[in-house]
């Protein structure tokens, strides 16, 4: 049995035309069908996480990770900020 690998030349809506002039009919799901198939549920996004560890400066507040900011160091570092005194620290995780 021969193995075939079709490389698409163009994609038009729901019809894929391949280099061997064969076409494959596909039907993409609607947004509602897709969301129900992957069981998506809306989760509100928060800029700051819940406190991860005790603040090393004031020892009263909790250090929350900024989910919107990542330093592009190697490995990447994340910004943590105390929810009590505002102390900022950077951690690898």
Predicted local confidence at residue 20, as pLDDT: 54
> Which residue is it, tokens 């509602």?
32
Residue 19 has phi, psi (to 5 degrees) of -65, -20
Number of H-type helices and E-type strands within the chain: 1, 7
Predicted local confidence at residue 11, as pLDDT: 47
Predicted local confidence at residue 4, as pLDDT: 47
10-residue stretch averages of pLDDT, the chain, 93 residues long: 47 50 66 71 75 92 92 92 94 84
Domain regions of the chain by residue span: 8-38, 48-91
| Helical ranges in 1-93 per DSSP H | 31-38
Six-digit token string for 33: 């069908």
């Amino acid at each position: 049995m021969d193995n075939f690998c079709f490389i698409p030349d163009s994609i038009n809506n729901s019809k894929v035309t391949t280099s061997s002039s064969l076409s494959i009919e596909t039907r993409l799901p609607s947004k509602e069908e897709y969301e129900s198939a992957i069981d998506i549920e809306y989760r509100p996004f928060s800029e700051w996480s819940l406190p991860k560890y005790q603040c090393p400066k004031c020892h009263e507040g909790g250090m929350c990770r900024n989910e919107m900011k990542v330093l592009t160091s190697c490995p990447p570092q994340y910004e943590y900020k105390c929810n009590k005194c505002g102390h900022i620290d950077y951690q690898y995780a």
